[in-house]
Amino acid sequence: MFLKLEGRSCLVVGAGKIGESKIRSLLVAGATVRVIAPRATPAVLAWERAGVLAWQAREFESADLDSTFLVVAATSSIEVNDAVYREARRRQILCNVVDDPDRCDFYYPAVVRRGDLQIAISTAGKSPALAQRLRREFEAHLAPIYAGWIEELGGVRKHLFGRRLNPEDRRKRLHELASRESFEARAAITSATGPLTKGKVFLVGAGPGDPELLTVKALRVLETAQVVLHDDLISPEILALIPRSAEVRNVGKRCGRNSTPQQEINSLLVTFAAFGLKVVRLKGGDPSIFGRAGEEMNALRKANVEFEVVPGVTSALASAASTQISLTQRDKASAVIFLTSHHANSKETIPWQAFVSSGATLAIYMPGFDYEQTSTRLIAAGLKSETPCAIISRASSRDQQIHRTTVRDLPSAPLLPAPTLLLVGDVVQTEQLAATPLEAWNLATEPLPQAPVEHEVFDRALTRD
C-alpha cells in the first residue's frame, strides 16, 4: 500500500538521529510535519528555522495526536514509545514505533525511485539492513530512463481509456507497451550508444561560483553532458551552461534541506553510466578537496565504470585572490594547510598543535558557526591570540562578504551566509583591519565591467540564450 501523504498532518515524537531520518522521509513525501522532542539534531533545528516543519521542545502529550493522520515514535524511551502507540491505537491513528515491529501499523520500506515508478522493499521490520542492501542492488540495475518511460505509458493509458475499445484489446495493448521488448526498443532510441554500452563519469570541479573561473575542459564536458548530478551551491550562472536536454538533479548536502545520502549518489552515478550515458558529477570548488570524490571514485572502480576527474579552483585559492591575500609569503608563511572542522564522526581528530607549530597559513573549510570553540582550540594549541584571520563568505561571487578579525575576537564574528572559509595566519595583513573593523562588508555593490571574452568555447557559453 502506497499512502499519499502530501499535505497530511504527520507527527514524529523524537528528534535524534533515527527521528531525523523518519522526518526527512515524511518531508520528501510532502507531509505537513510536526515534531515533539525535548532536544533535536542540528538538521532538525535547521529545518525548523527554515519553516519546513514545526518543532516543540517538550515531552509528548496525548493531545499532540489531535488532527493527526500518522505518527512515528522514535525516542530512546520504551515508556514514551509505548504511550504514543497506545494513544494512537485508541484513536485509530496509523503508528510506527521505530525498531519495534509489534507496535507498527506500517513499516518504512527501502524504496527505489525512478520518477513515478517506485519499488518498495520491506522485511516486516526484521532486517532493515537487508532491505537497504537490496535497494542498492536494484538501484544499480534499474535503468534511469524508466522515469521517462513510465510517464509515456501513463499518457498512452489515459488516451486508451478515453476511447471506446474492447476491454480485452485495451488490456492486451497496455501489456504489450509495458513489455521488455517495448522497453528495449525505446532504450535503443534514447541512448545513441545503445542500452548495453557503458558510459563515463566526469567528476568536475565547478570552482567557487564565478563561471569565468571554470576551466575550459570543465565547460566542454558540461556542454555535452547527458546527466548532471550537482551540489546544492552551484551558481545559477554555471547551471545555465548545462544542455536543456540533460537530466539534471540536485544531490547537494546542505543543512536545513532534504539531502541525498552518499550511497544513493554513488548508485546513481553507476546506474546512469551503466546505461551508456555521459554523466557529470558537478562539485563546488575542486572535487578532491573535501568533496567526497574518493568515495565516488571507489564506487566507480568497484562497478568497473570509466571515470575522469576535471579539477577546479578550490575556495581557498578563490578566497585569497578575491581578498588580495597571498597564502604564502617569505617573511610570514612558507606553507598552506587545507583542513576542515567538519568530520564524519564527532570525535576530535584535528591535530591543532601540529598545524599551529608549523607556521603555515590555515585554510579552514566548512568552519561552521562555533567560532568560540575554534578560537579556543587555536589559542590552546599555541597560536597567538592577536593572529589575524578572515572569514570569507561566497568567495568570488557578487554577494561575497568578508569579515576580518583576530583569533581572540573570532567568537564575536557575525554569521555570514554559507559557504564560508576561514583563513588564519599572519598573511591576513593586520594593516587592513583598520579599513574593515570587525564588520562584514560586500565585495562590490555593482558588478565590474567585463572584458571581451574571445575564446570560442566561452563565447558560445556566455552568449547562449
Cell numbers 578563490: residue? 318
Task: Give residue 244's identity as a one-letter amino acid code.
Answer: R
Total residue length of the chain: 465
**Which residues sit opposite 96 in a β-bridge?**
72, 104
Q: Kindly report the backbone phi and psi dihedral angles of residue 9, in degrees, each rounded to the nearest multiple of 5, phi listed first.
A: -80, 115
Q: Strand order in 336-340's β-sheet?
A: 336-340, 361-365, 420-424, 388-393, 401-406, 441-442
First to last CA, the chain: 45
Active site residues: 231, 253
**Contact criterion met (CB below 8 Å) for 341 and 351:** no
Give the integer Cα–Cα distance in Å for 288 and 384.
Answer: 31
Cell numbers 562578504: residue? 401
**Contact criterion met (CB below 8 Å) for 84 and 71:** yes
For 46-62, b where at least 16 C-beta lie within 10 A, e where not — what string? ebbeeeebebeeeebee
Give the integer Cα–Cα distance in Å for 252 and 264.
Answer: 12
